[in-house]
Amino acid sequence: MTDRVCVVGAGAIGSLFAAHLARVCEVSVLCRRAEHAQALRRDGLRVSGRHDFHVSVEAGVSAAELAEPWLVIVATKAAGLEGAVRALAGHWPGAAVMTVLNGLGAERVVRAHGSWPLISAVTFMSGTKHSDTHVEYILDTETWLGPWEDTPFALVQRAHDAIVAGGLEAEALPDLRPAQWSKLIFNATVNGVAALTGLRHDFHFAEGPLGELVHDLVDEGKAVARAADVPLHDDPWEMNVLATKRGHAHYPSMLEDVDRGRPTEVELINGSLVREARERDVPLPLHEAVYALVRGREASYA
Amino acid sequence: MRVCVVGCGAVGSLFAANLAQLDDVEVWAYDLARDHVDAINEYGLRLSGAGEIRSRPRATADAGELPACDFGIVATKAMHTSAAVAAAAHAFRDGCVASVQNGIGNEEAIAEHVARVIRGTTFPAGKLVEPGHVQWDVKGDTTLGPFEPQPAPQDEIERLADACTRGGMPTRAVSDARGPQWRKLIFNAATNPLGALTRLTHGRVCERPDLRALVTGLVDEGKAVAGAQGIGLDADPEELIDHAARRDVAYEHKASMLQDVEAKRATEVDFLNGGIVRFGREHGVPTPLNGAIWALVKGLEASWTS
């Protein structure tokens, strides 16, 4: 078995995985744009911020150009997932595929295109992509990973060990759903409120009237998790309070999207939570409101 | 009769210009915008659009110049009520003061400075085009009634309503003015902030089923709070909302709160959704959606200085 890892979708998160893993194994990057792949082959990847180093990587725009890896890390945005996975269909039968997307349901999209063993992951690290070949590592928080369906835990453990060896924080869990749901509730709440208010994730989210709203949104999310029989790995309210005390106000991706007039991940994030609630007849009035408002905000671009 | 309009923006100018056409009414306009005041004193106050008027109220930016008045008509933005009325209060020692402002809580603020208060709601709208010139967009009725804790005498309310009507602003004096006020409050609180948060016009908010459902959720909370106070609405806000969403009515209208957000000006949300939440709390009626919308708009305001 080779030691090669392929990263699909080299935004900030994908670039951070690719660069760190390239310190301990061979890494290829499957890009959507030919210029991106060219730049990576020519210049490699630079990491600044919490870590500071430079690595060489392989890159291409189709799976056929790249040697078969043992692990594929899919780190596209929600909107790019379907296209990226279609490009993998029929390739690399021996690989495992790990999805690191916001929201729920990415695994099902991948499964529709192949029978690879799947690893579910959520990440709390963050970065800013300054160019196709330069990413700044901002929050060095963990990535959590776990098996999807009957994927052997040993495979999860191997992916975890590679990520940690590369210098990133990670935790392998026998069941990821408690972590996934913690993050889903956290993201639906914090991203939605940030996108609507224009506030970065700062103290406003943990105190006063907006803090109360955030707390109530988290409570609604917890009720859905209870109805789905998922015990939460972390309390999303505590995650929120902790994040606002880091001294660095994170710029949530949904706010960034709204600021730039781009489509957001509201369907994958808030939409997932709302649909899980509707399936189980759990009333979710505040999240329904946030979901409708963010979708309305997207409609205002046109 | 002497009337002072406190806050002579668009709505205040509609009252001042119309009343100043009457021979038996002396009108003063008190406003802090010195260019507007100077233009009124030099060229008169001009309305165009739904009605063409040029009349000559006396304007001042210095409350100290105001003589004793029989009536005040307060038309400031809701968050300026207290400061404006405090400055002008000496002119109303023997007079009665009416609010024709948006939202709920203005009469309470006026009553801290003035003994006899009139609860009012007005539907005409316009915008300031340039100093001394207001575009009159929509004609509409005004309702005046006693502010229950510190009421003006009913015959005084009728005297002011009569003057407004004769001047060209149709006004009814009623014994309970809360119905029209809550109807307008509920309409505004259910629609303005959704436009402000999404940047959509009134019609575009209403044609999205998920947002229209949110509007209904907000209306229902407002109706419950009105009901708990024994207030009967004089019309169903839902029908008014759907009527306004028609393409030939106000489909393309940007709510004033959206205009405030685009200009990064403080909004009146404390007196709209915030008012519904406060009165709901006093009467034991839960208002989670209005609370959420209030918090989001306050967060939006905070983002301009964060």
pLDDT digits (tens, 9 = 90+) for A68-83: 999 999 999 888 899 9
Token pair listed for A46 = 């630079």
**pLDDT of B36 above 50:** yes
Write down the ipTM of this complex: 0.90
Helix (H) or strand (E) holding A240: helix A236-244
* Signed CA dihedral, B112, B114, B119, B122: sign only: negative
pLDDT of residue B253: 81
B189 closest CA partner among B95, B131, B270, B124 = B270
B249 — pLDDT class (breaks 50, 70, 90): confident
A2 — pLDDT class (breaks 50, 70, 90): low
pLDDT of residue A205: 98
Query: Are the C-beta atoms of A119 and A148 separated by less than 8 Å?
Result: yes
Task: Read off the pLDDT of each residue in B225-237 and give the average, rounded to a whole number.
Answer: 95
Inter-chain residue contact A210 with B298, CB threshold 8 Å: yes
**pLDDT of A1 above 50:** no
Q: How many CB pairs under 8 A join A and B?
A: 91
**pLDDT of A247 above 80:** no
**Parallel, antiparallel, or unpaired for β B116-122 and B2-6?**
unpaired
Which of B192, B197, B257, B301 has the highest number of chain A CBs within 10 A, making it the mutation to test binding with A?
Answer: B197
pLDDT of residue B125: 86
DSSP A72-131: EEE---HHHHHHHHHTTTTS-TT-EEEEE-SSS-HHHHHHTT----EEEEEE--EEEEEE
**pLDDT of A89 above 60:** yes
Task: Read off the pLDDT of each residue in B1-27 and give the average, rounded to a whole number.
Answer: 97
Q: What is the pLDDT of residues A101-139, one digit of tens each?
A: 887 889 999 999 999 999 999 998 989 999 999 999 998
pLDDT of residue B185: 97
The CA distance from A169 to B259, in Å, is 46
Inter-chain residue contact B295 with A213, CB threshold 8 Å: yes
Q: Is B303 on the interface with A (CB under 8 A)?
A: yes
Identity of the residue in B205, B291, B299 whose CB atom sits nearest the CB atom of A199: B299
Quote the minimal CA–CA distance from B213 to chain A in Å. 9
**pLDDT of B205 above 50:** yes
